[in-house]
Amino acid sequence: MHKTFKMVILTMSISALAAGPAFASSHTAGQMARAGYTCFPAGPTDWIHCMLINKLDDSAPVVPVKVFSVDGMDFLGTELLLHEDTYSGQPCPTDDLNLWEDTGFGYFACHHFLTEHH
């Protein structure tokens, strides 16, 4: 039953991300922060990542993230963070090599960008 719950959470999160770009594309990272999102630069690109939780911890099995350009003005797409306990080798069809990226802090990331930004 625990595995079923995780799959329901994952399915709901993916569905929310599918609807997310239409909402976030008209917003900036600054507007997201004022709306209660936590926004910060991350990764080698320093793109601005915004999420609705104050910090990543072991209690969140799935974390949807909205990604903006370095200046926070352009919406690039979404990223889904999947906790290592929830990840079981499933493919990430939108990333290179169909793999989830190991973030090094207990989550795997699958990117859903509007255009190629590598």
Residue 68 contacts residue 48 (beta carbons within 8 Å): yes
Number of Cβ within a 10 Å radius of residue 1:
5
pLDDT in tens, 19-56: 344 344 568 999 999 999 999 998 888 999 999 876 66
pLDDT per residue over 90-114, tens digit each? 888 776 666 778 888 888 889 888 6
- Indicate the residue type of 56: L
How would you label 56-79 residue by residue, b for 16+ Cβ within 10 Å and e otherwise?
Answer: beeebbbbbbbbbbeebebbbbbb
* Residue-range domain boundaries for the chain: 2-113
